[in-house]
């Protein structure tokens, strides 16, 4: 239902199923979506069994037929070239899907990160050798000062993060929010809201770093010992000499060539933008001073939050590289109250390594995921064809930019198989639909708890018997493996693999629901163990970036477009509190009642100039995709004048989703897939310009 897999207990009394928090679990608690989960069991729109397309129409069938059709198509593709199969998902089932992709021979297992956390994840790999948002996190309960960049946990999807933030605030933690919109987090928790211009976060952070360096607000000992700050770089071509200097801020000559330390070059990037700070970002010099002083005075228990949904600008990778470098300047890595590496064990369900020639990495070698490249391959056959597509638990045109392109690609792919609980928009294009059991009806492999700095493992047990002719994902994939001749391993075999790797007592795990493994949380990386970077240190200068032709030090890259005139705006988007990212919760009536649509939020002063009132119907036209939508306006004082905001995920057009159908508009129609961060391959979602006019009735 949701990637975060919070710890719950399920009780059944007659036909009534109730969920409550498992207090023994490190993510103890449920949000409104989790509380509404029992409704999906008897939901009238649920997929009640597998389906195959006959004569252009999806018809109910049996599992033998559905799996037979799927195996026939996948075998044909594999015989031609296994790379011609692409698989996508939304975090859930990752380990199982990695195994299937490996056994099948396709490298093309590609997630949603191009429209989510791709840039911060690529940045954390480059600077810290870490991975996605759950690989490191601020130690909120012990933090004194936290800066959030366009992140809004109060409308996000992790109740545990909100609980930890509240615990920190109860002990005096102070919050600053940098965001074009005064989000729920900014309204309720922030002592300062910095209303930045969309797409200029890198300029703000480089200015902050410059101010801190000029005022000697950096942990010199930490940088010298645990970073490549003093690495000497040739300024002519930005290549590394491999030599280090005793002075962190050095510029001079070496063997007749001008050289400078990585830290000096980083400072220079801040010096370039600092004089134009207000013009570029809309932030003030007092904002920079305030951030610098509070971060420095509260170190190491101060932190720039590591972000999550970060696919905003063409330089978002540099934004998050800069954020991680500033954290290193504070010496807060793995310190109590700082930016802490989660001590999570890893699980692997196969022996070997996935192929590296993934289709999106032809264009973006460092990308974590750029699924738009799969659509292009379907439509153009380049750099090689994608003939089959497997979609697991994710609603693609509610997820990815340029919905028109997404729908065209889905309609043209030779074979499309979906695994889902509801008839999402994607099922309308499917050749085979494999109906999955809900999480309440299925056993799953023991898992590593995501949102905990401590090492925890939890159990995922079926609570009720399946109501319809559905199957869990592990059964579906193991059946495909067996029928394709890829493996004969059973679910029990995989379970033994997991328990052996995690070294956890099965009886204790099933009794308690969650078990903590041994291990220290603080002061481990990079002090006891090196970072996962090439050098084992914090990398301010990236040799990998330079080798691939990118600038190796974070730098500000201005956006291509800006609003021209009073009826043009930057479009920014975000997550609604009441729905998960995919099709499941959007069709639950109780949640629809709480969030029936996604009106366009517009600044009150700008609305008055345009003669637009709260609740008016407007036409919104994207200058980047050329698409137009109609929607209602919500007038507010909590957003910049040059910016409008809408929640994503609405505008479902599958008539199988009878409750969700027709609610809100699809904001992805307005977002281009061609304006991207060239390093992460992520979509620059906040650098699309829309024109808003009052609609004619």
Could you give the CA distance from residue 551 to residue 678 in angstroms, rounded to a whole number?
11
Residue 528 exposed, middle or buried by CB count within 10 Å (0-12, 13-18, 19+): exposed
Judge contact between 205 and 319, C-beta under 8 A: yes
pLDDT (0 to 100) of residue 582: 65
List Cα–Cα distances, 368 to 111, 317, 361, 438, 680, in angstroms.
8, 11, 9, 28, 7
Helix (H, G, I), strand (E, B) or coil at 231: strand
Q: How high is the pLDDT of residue 279?
A: 98
Q: How far is CA 548 from the centre of its chain?
A: 24
Going by C-beta distance under 8 Å and a sequence separation of 6 or more, which residues neighbour residue 598?
A: 576, 631, 646, 647, 648, 649, 650, 651, 664, 665, 667
Closest C-alpha among 658, 556, 643, 560 to residue 607? 643
Mean pLDDT by 10 residues, the chain (697 residues): 85 90 87 88 96 96 98 98 97 94 98 96 98 94 97 88 95 98 97 98 98 98 98 98 98 97 98 98 98 98 96 98 98 98 95 96 98 98 98 93 97 98 95 96 93 93 94 98 98 96 92 92 98 98 98 96 96 90 81 93 98 98 97 98 96 92 95 98 98 91
C-alpha span between 52 and 70 (Å, rounded): 9
- Tell me what pLDDT residue 28 has: 82
CA distance 658 to 587: 7
User: Which residue shows structure tokens 């992140």?
Assistant: 151
Q: Give the number of other CB atoms < 10 A from CB of residue 184.
A: 17
467 φ, ψ (degrees, to nearest 5): -85, -35
- Spatial contact of 381 and 352, defined as CB atoms under 8 Å apart: no
Q: What pLDDT score was predicted for residue 583?
A: 65
In residues, how long is the chain?
A: 697
Beta bridge mates, 573: 646
Burial (CB count <10 Å: 0-12, 13-18, 19+), residue 485: exposed
659: its two tokens: 């409750």
Whether residue 665 contacts residue 630, with contact meaning beta carbons closer than 8 Å, is answered with: yes
């Amino acid at each position: 239902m949701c990637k975060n897999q919070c710890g719950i207990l399920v009780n059944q009394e007659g036909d009534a199923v109730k969920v409550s928090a498992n207090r023994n679990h490190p993510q103890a608690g449920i949000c409104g979506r989790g509380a509404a989960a029992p409704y999906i069991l008897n939901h009238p729109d649920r997929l009640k069994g597998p389906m195959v397309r006959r004569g252009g129409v999806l018809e109910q069938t049996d599992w033998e037929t559905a799996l037979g059709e799927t195996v026939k198509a996948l075998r044909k593709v594999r015989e031609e070239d296994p790379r011609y199969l692409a698989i996508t998902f939304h975090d859930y089932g990752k380990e199982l899907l990695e195994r299937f992709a490996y056994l099948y021979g396709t490298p093309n297992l590609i997630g949603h990160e191009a429209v989510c956390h791709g840039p911060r994840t690529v940045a954390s790999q480059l600077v810290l050798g870490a991975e996605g948002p759950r690989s490191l996190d601020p130690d909120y309960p012990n933090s004194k000062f936290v800066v959030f960049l366009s992140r809004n946990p109060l409308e996000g999807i992790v109740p545990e993060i909100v609980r930890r933030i509240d615990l920190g605030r109860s002990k005096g933690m102070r919050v600053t929010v940098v965001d074009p919109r005064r989000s729920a987090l900014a309204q309720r928790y922030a002592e300062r809201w910095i209303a930045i211009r969309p797409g200029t976060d890198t300029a703000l952070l480089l200015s902050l770093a410059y101010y801190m360096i000029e005022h000697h607000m950096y942990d010199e000992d930490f940088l010298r010992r645990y970073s490549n700050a003093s690495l000497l770089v040739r300024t002519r071509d930005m290549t590394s000499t491999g030599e280090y200097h005793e002075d962190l801020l050095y510029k001079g000559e070496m063997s007749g060539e001008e050289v400078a330390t990585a830290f000096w070059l980083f400072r220079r990037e801040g010096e370039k933008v600092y004089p134009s700070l207000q013009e570029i970002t809309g932030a003030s010099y007092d904002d920079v001073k305030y951030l610098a002083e509070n971060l420095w005075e509260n170190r190491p228990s101060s932190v720039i939050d590591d972000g999550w949904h970060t696919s905003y600008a063409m330089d978002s990778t540099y934004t998050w590289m800069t954020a991680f470098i500033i954290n290193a300047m504070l010496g807060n890595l793995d310190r109590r109250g700082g930016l802490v590496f989660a001590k999570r064990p890893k699980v692997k369900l196969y022996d070997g390594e996935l192929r590296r020639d993934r289709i999106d990495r032809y264009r973006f070698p460092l990308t974590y995921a750029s699924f738009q490249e799969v659509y292009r391959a379907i439509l153009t056959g380049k750099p090689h064809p994608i003939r089959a597509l497997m979609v697991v638990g994710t609603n693609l045109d509610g997820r990815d930019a340029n919905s028109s392109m997404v729908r065209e690609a889905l309609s043209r792919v030779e074979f499309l198989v979906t695994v889902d609980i509801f008839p999402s928009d994607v099922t309308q294009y499917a050749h085979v639909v494999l109906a999955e059991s809900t999480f309440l009806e299925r056993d799953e492999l023991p898992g590593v708890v995501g949102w905990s700095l401590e090492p925890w493992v939890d159990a995922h047990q079926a609570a009720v018997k399946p109501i319809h002719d559905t199957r869990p994902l592990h059964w579906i994939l193991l059946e495909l493996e067996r029928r394709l001749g890829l493996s004969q391993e059973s679910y029990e075999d995989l379970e033994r693999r997991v328990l052996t790797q995690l070294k956890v007592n099965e009886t204790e795990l099933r009794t308690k629901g969650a078990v903590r493994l041994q291990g220290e949380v603080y002061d481990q990386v990079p002090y006891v163990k090196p970072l996962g970077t090439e050098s084992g240190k914090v990398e301010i200068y990236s040799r990998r970036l330079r080798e691939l032709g990118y600038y190796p030090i974070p730098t500000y890259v201005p956006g291509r477009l800006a609003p021209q005139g009073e009826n043009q705006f930057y479009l920014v988007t975000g997550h609604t509190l009441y729905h998960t990212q995919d099709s499941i919760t959007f069709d639950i009536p109780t949640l629809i009642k709480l969030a029936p649509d996604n009106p366009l939020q517009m600044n009150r002063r700008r609305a008055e100039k345009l003669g637009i009132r709260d609740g008016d119907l407007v036409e919104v036209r994207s200058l980047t995709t050329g698409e137009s939508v109609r929607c209602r306006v919500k007038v507010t004082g909590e957003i910049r004048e040059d910016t409008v905001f809408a929640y994503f995920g609405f505008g479902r057009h599958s008539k199988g989703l009878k409750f969700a159908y027709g609610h809100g508009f699809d904001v992805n129609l307005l977002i281009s897939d061609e304006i991207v961060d060239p390093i992460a391959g992520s979509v620059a979602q906040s650098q699309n310009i829309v024109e808003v006019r009052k609609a004619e009735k």
